[in-house]
C-alpha cells in the first residue's frame, strides 16, 4: 500500500548511514510501489554538490549496498529523479533559504537527522526559524541517543523546544526487524503461549546478540561507548521489553510504549557479580581490541553478559540473561524462553532433563522454533528425545519472507504513516539510561578491567560461569 506523498529531507544525506542504509532502503520501497512518484528525497549536507552530483553519489551507494534490486536500471533512473540536494550548514546560515524554497505545501514533511547528535539542537532551531517545519512534520533521530541519563535528558529537552513528542521518531532498528515484530505476533496472536509466560512456567530467558566483526573503522567512537552503551541500553533492552511487557490493550504506540516503560522501571539494580565484561584479544591473525581502537590502555568492553531481574508479579525470580559481543564465534542473534522442568515424569528410567524452549531467531535463518519432547522412534521402549518444531521464515513463507522490507525501510515508511509504535519514546530512553548509569559508574569507580577473550569463541569463561553457578547454561552460539 503506497504511503502518502512526502518530502523527506536527510540531514547528513552524504554520510555513511544515508548511503549504506537509508537511500538503498528507500529505493527498495520505491520499487515495491510504496513510495509514490510524487514523493521526494532531499539530501542536505555540507558537501558542495548539485542535485546531479548527489544522484551520482547515491547511484554508487545503491550499486554497492542496494542488493539484487540495484540492477533495475529503469527503476533506478526513476528513483534518482526523485532526489534533490541542498548544500547546508547546520550551525550556520548557508543553504537554509534554498531548502525552504524547495519544500512543497500539502505533502508530509519528514526530517531525518542523520548527523552527530551535537547538531540536533541547531537543526531543530533552524527548521523553525525558517518556517520549514510545520506542526505535522516528523523528525527522525538515530542512536546514540545520549551517553547517559543527563545527556539523553538534554537531547530530549532540546528536541522538545521545537517538536512535540508525537513528532519525534527515535530509531532503534532492532524494532524494525521482522522477527522482532513476529515475537509480538507469537505472544499476542496465539492463546498457547501467554498463559505460560510467567514465573510459574518460565525458568529463565536468554537474549544473545553475537557479532563476528570487531570495531574496525569505528574504534574511536566505540572506545568511548562500549557494549553496554552501544548495544544493551538500546537494542537488548528493547528486546527484553517486548518479551517481558504486559499485553497492551491495543497494538498502538501509546499502549505499547507504556507497557515497555513499566518493564524498564521494574528492572532491579544489578550486583557487580552478575555482570561480566570482556574485551577481545588478538589470537595471532587479527588485531586485538586495543589495537583496533588504537588505545593500548583501553578498559572498554567489547562483550558483556549480565543477569537481570524484573521486580513484578509476572517475573519475580526469573533471570533474564543478556549477552552481546564482537568477534564472537558466529553472527547469531536469538531470544530463548526456557520453560521449567516437568513437575513429575511418568517415564521410568528417563533421567534426562527435557525442556520446552521457544527460540526466536533474529539471525541467521530468521525464524521461530519450539523444542518439544517426543518418543524416540523404534522398539526401544519409551525413550524420549527433544526435537524442534522449526519454522524458518524463508522456507515456510518463501517469497513473502524474501520480499519483506528490512528494518530501516519499514521504519521510514512508519514515519511517513505517522505510526510511532516501533520507535522509542523519550521517557523510555531516559528510564533505560537510569538503569545503566549506576552500572557504568560502578566500573568507572572501580577501574574495572574487562576479561580478555579469544576471537571466535563465545566470550570470556566468566560469562559461562554466570549461568553454570545457577545450574544453567547458555545456548550455543553457532
Ligand atoms: P558520517 O560522518 O558518515 O556523515 C555525517 C554527515 O553529516 C555528512 O553528510 C556531513 O556532511 C554531515 N554534516 C556534518 N556536519 C554538518 C554540518 N555542520 N552541517 C550539515 N551537515 C553536516 O556519519 P554517519 O555514519 O552517516 O552517521 C550519522 C549519524 O547516525 C551519527 O549520529 C551516527 O552516530 C548515527 N548512526 C550511524 C550508523 C552507521 O551505520 N553509520 C549507525 C547508527 C547510527
pLDDT single digits (tens) 450-471: 999 999 999 999 999 999 999 9
Residue 211 contacts residue 270 (beta carbons within 8 Å):
no
As a whole number of angstroms, the distance between CA 198 and CA 315 comes to 6
Query: How sure is the predictor about 353, in pLDDT bands with cuts at 50, 70 and 90?
Result: confident
Task: Kindly give the distance from the C-alpha atom of residue 16 to the centroid of ligand 1, in angstroms, as a whole number.
Answer: 7
Average pLDDT over every residue of 322-344: 96
Residues catalogued as catalytic: 235
Q: Which atom of ligand 1 is least distant from the CA of 89?
A: 19
**Rounded distance from Cα 393 to ligand 1 centre (Å):** 34
pLDDT at residue 229, as a whole number? 97
pLDDT of residue 68 exceeding 90, the answer is no
The best mutation among 11, 16, 152, 159 to test binding of ligand 1, ranked by most ligand atoms within 8 Å of the C-beta, falls on 16
With a 6 A CB cut-off, is 17 part of the ligand 1 pocket?
A: yes
Distance CA 146, CA 148 (A): 6
Pocket test for ligand 1, best of 15, 53, 144, 411 (most atoms within 8 A of CB): 15
> pLDDT > 90: what percent of the chain?
86
Give 424's DSSP letter: B
Sign of the dihedral through C-alpha 341, 347, 351, 356: negative
Distances from the Cα of 163 to the Cα of 4, 93, 133, 160, angstroms: 21, 21, 9, 5
Give pLDDT tens digits for 221-262. 999 999 999 999 999 999 999 999 999 999 999 999 999 999
Q: How far apart are CA 98 and CA 109, in angstroms?
A: 16
Closest ligand 1 atom, CA of 143?
A: 44
pLDDT > 70: what percent of the chain? Answer: 100
Q: What is residue 190's predicted lDDT score, i.e. its pLDDT?
A: 96
Phi-psi label, residue 173: left if phi above 0, alpha if psi -120 to 50, beta otherwise:
alpha
Res 145: pLDDT: 95
Cα separation, 399 vs 402, whole angstroms:
5
Give which of 40, 59, 42 is closest to 51, Cα–Cα.
42
Q: Cβ distance 82 to 6 under 8 Å? A: no
**Beta carbon of 115 within 6 Å of any ligand 1 atom:** yes
66 vs 356, more confident: 356
Per-residue pLDDT tens over the stretch 196-226: 999 999 999 999 999 999 998 888 999 999 9
pLDDT by residue (tens digit) across 71-110? Answer: 778 999 999 999 999 999 999 999 999 999 999 999 999 9
Q: Categorize the per-residue pLDDT at 54 as very low, low, confident or very high, splitting at 50, 70 and 90.
A: very high
pLDDT given at position 400: 80
Q: What is the pLDDT of residues 359-415, one digit of tens each?
A: 999 988 899 999 999 999 999 888 899 999 999 988 888 888 777 888 999 999 999
| 14 close to ligand 1 (CB < 6 Angstrom) | yes
Binding site residue list: 12-19, 46, 143, 173, 177, 211, 230, 326
Amino acid at each position: 500500500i503506497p504511503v502518502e506523498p512526502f518530502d523527506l529531507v536527510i540531514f547528513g544525506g552524504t554520510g555513511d548511514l544515508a548511503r549504506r542504509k537509508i537511500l538503498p532502503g528507500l529505493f527498495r520501497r520505491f520499487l515495491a510501489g510504496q513510495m509514490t512518484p510524487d514523493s521526494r528525497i532531499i539530501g542536505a549536507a555540507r558537501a558542495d554538490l548539485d542535485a546531479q552530483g548527489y544522484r551520482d553519489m547515491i547511484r554508487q551507494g545503491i550499486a554497492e549496498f542496494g542488493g539484487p534490486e540495484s540492477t533495475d536500471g529503469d527503476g533506478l533512473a526513476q528513483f534518482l529523479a526523485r532526489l534533490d540536494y541542498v548544500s547546508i550548514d547546520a550551525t550556520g546560515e548557508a543553504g537554509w533559504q534554498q531548502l525552504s524554497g524547495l519544500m512543497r505545501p500539502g505533502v508530509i514533511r519528514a526530517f531525518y537527522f542523520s548527523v552527530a547528535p551535537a547538531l540536533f539542537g541547531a537543526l531543530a532551531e533552524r527548521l523553525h526559524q525558517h518556517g520549514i517545519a510545520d506542526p505535522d512534520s516528523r523528525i527522525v533521530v538515530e542512536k546514540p541517543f545520549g551517553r547517559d541519563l543527563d545527556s539523553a535528558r538534554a537531547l530530549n529537552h532540546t528536541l522538545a523546544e521545537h517538536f512535540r513528542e508525537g513528532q519525534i521518531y527515535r530509531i532503534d532498528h532492532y524494532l524494525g526487524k521482522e522477527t522482532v515484530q513476529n515475537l509480538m505476533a507469537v505472544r499476542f496472536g496465539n492463546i498457547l503461549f501467554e498463559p505460560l509466560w510467567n514465573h510459574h512456567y518460565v525458568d529463565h530467558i536468554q537474549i544473545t546478540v553475537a557479532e563476528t566483526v570487531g570495531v574496525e573503522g569505528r574504534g574511536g567512537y566505540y572506545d568511548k561507548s562500549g557494549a553496554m552503551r552501544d548495544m544493551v541500553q538500546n537494542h537488548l533492552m528493547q528486546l527484553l521489553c517486548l518479551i517481558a511487557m504486559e499485553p497492551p490493550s491495543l497494538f498502538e504506540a501509546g499502549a505499547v510504549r507504556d507497557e515497555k516503560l513499566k518493564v524498564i522501571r521494574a528492572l532491579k539494580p544489578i550486583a557487580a557479580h552478575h555482570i561480566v565484561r570482556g574485551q577481545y584479544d588478538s589470537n595471532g591473525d587479527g588485531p586485538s581490541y586495543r589495537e583496533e581502537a588504537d588505545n593500548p590502555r583501553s578498559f572498554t568492553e567489547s562483550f558483556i553478559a549480565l543477569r537481570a531481574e524484573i521486580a513484578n508479579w509476572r517475573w519475580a525470580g526469573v533471570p533474564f540473561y543478556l549477552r552481546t559481543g564482537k568477534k564472537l564465534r558466529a553472527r547469531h542473534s536469538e531470544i530463548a524462553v526456557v520453560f521449567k522442568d516437568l513437575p513429575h515424569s511418568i517415564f521410568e528410567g528417563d533421567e534426562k532433563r527435557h525442556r520446552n524452549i521457544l527460540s526466536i531467531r533474529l539471525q541467521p535463518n530468521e525464524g521461530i522454533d519450539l523444542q518439544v519432547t517426543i518418543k524416540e522412534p523404534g522398539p526401544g521402549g519409551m525413550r524420549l528425545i527433544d526435537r524442534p518444531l522449526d519454522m524458518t521464515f524463508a522456507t515456510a513463507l518463501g517469497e513473502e519472507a524474501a520480499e519483506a522490507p528490512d528494518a530501516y525501510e519499514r521504519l521510514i515508511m512508519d514515519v511517513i504513516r505517522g505510526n510511532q509504535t516501533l520507535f522509542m519514546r523519550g521517557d523510555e530512553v531516559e528510564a533505560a539510561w537510569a538503569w545503566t548509569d549506576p552500572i557504568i559508574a560502578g566500573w568507572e569507580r572501580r577501574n574495572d578491567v574487562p576479561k580478555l577473550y579469544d576471537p571466535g569463541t563465545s566470550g570470556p569463561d566468566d560469562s559461562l560461569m554466570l549461568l553454570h553457578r545457577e545450574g544453567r547454561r547458555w545456548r550455543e552460539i553457532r
